Structure 1
Amino acid sequence: MRAWVLFSAVLWYLTGAGWQRSSERTGKGLIYGKPGHPVKIYVKLHHSSPILACMDFKRAKKETVDPTYSWIGPNEKPLTENNQINITKTGKLKMEDFQEALSGLYTCTLSYKTVKAETQEETVVKQRYDFMIFAYREPDYSYQMAVRFTTKSCEGRYNDLLFRVLKKILDNLISDLSCHVVEPSYKCHFVKIPKHGLVHELFIAFQVNPFAPGWKGACNDSADCEDITNHNILQARDRIEEFFRSQAYIYYHDFNKTIPAMHFVDHSFQVVRMDSCRPGFGKNEGLHSNCASCCVVCSPGTFSPDVDVTCQSCVSIRVYGAKSCT
């Protein structure tokens, strides 16, 4: 039986009839340096970096004689090729399976010669390019939701029964997505409705997140499980929204229909997305304006121990992605 049909039957059982309320980044292309200006780059965790060119765009359009390239990594040591780092003969750098520890300042020095045609005099020119590279991951989504239901009275057991039945139905509606309802609560208020006087209403609030027991089983060993959990929570949001839309349709598409005393208040459904970051990551719109919605790896001097959205200060930390202040 569809969830909204079942819930409608429960409402009729609880209270019978009542009055009716009217409804009124840069992709993976080539990235050039900028002389005198560090270029910020954000690479998704466990993904490949874009290709970094050891020259600026203006120089790339010109002939370059006897070029040599020297890359220095975040540890201030020359970069050497390995299974994660690839440097071409033309000085292009690309990194695979990017991780927190690869974040930091990358410096490339381009050396080349200028040759005077009339004298063949050679001059060596050196130019430095800085790239600040940060690992990031998508935030984990959850949704804060609120709805309202009319009720006969703020006293009695029916309000609590409605609340528990609603939570159970919503949990069942999204359980196959490894999502669940958490932190549910309700309060009863009396509300002055224009032309109708005072009515009692239940103000119900709850949060939906994609971390129901066993949620890791949906990841299928994926390194980017937030892509899967975020996809699931978006589906859960849509299902819950459709559930309440169906409630409104049942009771409000026919204004002559008698409806239960306890029923969904049309247009009362509200939803707000709440973001959180994994430990070692946080948001900082001022520092990372080009990736403001991202959870960016915590820089040295900061850490994030839990699913907060900011990195906290800790002067003793010297690494990227710290999860504790030690």
Structure 2
Amino acid sequence: MGAWLLLPAMLYYLAGTGWPRSSLLSDKGLVYGRLGHPVKIYVKLHQNSPILVCMDSHRASEETVDPTYLWIGPNEKMLTGNKQFNITETGTLIVKDFLELLSGLYTCTLSYKTIKAETQEETIEKKRYDFMVFVNPFAPGWRDACGGSVDCEDVTNQNILKARDRIEEFFRSQASISSHRFNKTVPAIHFVDHSFHVVRIDSCRPGFGKNEGLHSNCASCCVVCSPGTFSPDVDVTCQICISVHIYGAKSCP
């Protein structure tokens, strides 16, 4: 009686590769602020952020007199236009080549004048808009690997299933060749149909984790660990560490 070949399961890694689209993202790729509510945004590692607009969509549809814009970054320092932060005259912000340490709260204060029609009296109005910007670890090259799809997880799944089918076909063809070579007798090693399986391994790279409570609109994403948490390995969640004060920590001091 021939021996059976036990094929180990193929392990694969799918770490939150979706590209969640904000409900405030316009067709032109603009993300508007929202008074009293931080807008959460998820940026691919080493990619540019979407265009953050220092006003809400309602204000953008109205006339704004003599507007000025003040952007404050995660380090609570005023942002100035440079190679990393692209700030336009109309108050929009793009963060280029996004990294873990750039994650955090981006605040913009919009100041503008209102004029009373009866008295022509001018008043300065101020509105604050908060953007919570997080990075997830999908590295450069994802567009090529996923064929430009915005849902790369589906594409990755399809590629894994294709690989499984091809490996299964390889062993099946080898069994057929061996069977003919040995005059159709059962070879010492042969393949059993439907005995090959793939198993999904859900994990995140160090410094990243999933948090459905904090990121309910991106629950399947591996998002950079927030201050106060860390992840030293390929675990699914970030662990608590009160001495951590940065984003993306991989150890607890």
TM-score (norm 1): 0.59
Matching residue within 156, 161, 164 for 1:240: 164
Aligned-partner residue type, residue 82 of structure 1:
N
Structure number with higher relative contact order (C-alpha < 8 Å, ≥ 6 residues apart): 2
Contact between 1:43 and 1:133, CA under 8 Å: does it hold in 2? yes
1:209 — aligned with what?
A: none
Matches within 5 A, 1:110-121: 110-121=110-121
Shift in Å at residue 268 of structure 1? 3.4
Larger radius of gyration: 1
1:160 aligns to what? none
2:122 aligns with: 122
- Distance in 2 (CA, whole Å) between partners of 1:259 and 1:297 is 56
Q: Write the deviation string for residues 182-241 of structure 1: whole angstroms up to 9, x where unpaired.
A: xxxxxxxxxxxxxxxxxxxxxxxxxxxxxxxxxxxxxxxxx6378899999975652332
Q: Deviations over 1:88-144 (max 9, x none)?
A: 111101110011111001111111111122321111111111100001113xxxxxx
Residues 1-326 of structure 1 mapped to structure 2, 5 A cutoff: 15=2, 25-26=20-21, 29-138=29-138, 224=140, 238-245=162-169, 260=186, 263-326=190-253
Deviation at 1:301, TM superposition (A): 0.3
Provide Cα deviations, 1:277-296, integer angstroms capped at 9, x if missing partner: 22111122222122222221
Quote how far apart the aligned CAs of 1:36 are: 0.4
Instruction: Indicate the percent of aligned positions where both proteins have the same amino acid.
Output: 64
Paired letter, 1:260:
V
* Higher strand proportion: 1
Q: CA deviation at 1:15?
A: 2.6
Alignment size in residue pairs: 216
Partner of 1:207: none
- Which residue does the alignment assign to 1:197? none
SS in structure 2 at match of 1:55: coil
What is the DSSP-based 3-state SS (H/G/I as helix, E as strand, rest coil) of the residue aligned with 1:81? Answer: coil
Q: Does the 8 Å contact 1:304/1:324 carry over to 2?
A: yes
Cα deviation for residue 310 of structure 1 reads 1.4
Q: Which segment is superposed worse, 234-243 or 102-111?
A: 234-243
Gaps of 5+ in 1: 1-13, 17-24, 139-222, 252-257
Amino acid at match of 1:58: H
Conserved? CA contact 1:137–1:294, under 8 Å? no
Q: Is the 8 A contact 1:284 1:292 kept in 2?
A: yes
TM-score by length of structure 2 reads 0.75
Shift of 1:80: 1.4
Distance 1:73 1:307, change over 3 A: same
More helix by share: 1
Distance 1:52 1:226 in 2: 23
Give secondary structure in 1 for the equivalent of 2:86: strand
